[in-house]
Amino acid sequence: MIFNNSIFDVVFVALFSAQALKVVFSIFTEKKVNFRRFLDTGSMPSSHTSSVVSLATAIFIKEGGGSSIFMLSLVFAVVVMYDATGVRRAAGKQASVLNKIVENIRKKEGHKIIDKNLKEFLGHTPIEVFGGAILGVIVAILMM
């Protein structure tokens, strides 16, 4: 399909599908179609997770569970999923707190500290990561 590499194709479709689903889910959560969700981080499902899990699943199907490349892709997937629910999610929560502090200072002192709020949707909830993982497995199974 893309570069004549079935595993790359699986990862691309998983990533694209996750981002497209974010737009679809925005209809239910925001009561409108939000095409910006296609390029945003955060929300359901995790596209990072769907990518790395589809990669690991496709490699498992093609190379087997005992291969070194599968083990590498599995470790990579676990690190990415941990980061999505841990470090990046914590950074998003910190951004939310900082935005509130800046807003309170602006209200009290009447001047802006920053021109634009910090981005708060950086990481994922465990359910968003789980949704990305399920999507990644399904895409890999269907395409391999």
SS (H, E, C) the chain: CCCCCHHHHHHHHHHHHHHHHHHHHHHHHCCCCCHHHHCCCCCCCCHHHHHHHHHHHHHHHHHCCCCHHHHHHHHHHHHHHHHHHCHHHHHHHHHHHHHHHHHHHHHHHCCCCCCCCCCCCCCCCHHHHHHHHHHHHHHHHHHC
* Residue type for position 10: V
**Quick one: pLDDT at residue 89?**
64
* Residue type for position 3: F
Contact of 61 with 40, CB cutoff 8 Å: no
**pLDDT tens digits along 18-44:** 999 988 888 887 788 877 776 777 778
Q: How confident is the model at residue 105 (pLDDT cuts 50, 70, 90)?
A: confident
The pTM (predicted TM-score) of the whole model is 0.76
**pLDDT tens digits along 55-99:** 999 999 999 999 999 999 999 999 999 888 876 666 667 777 777
Q: How confident is the model at residue 121 (pLDDT cuts 50, 70, 90)?
A: low
**CA pair distance 65, 53, nearest whole angstrom:** 14
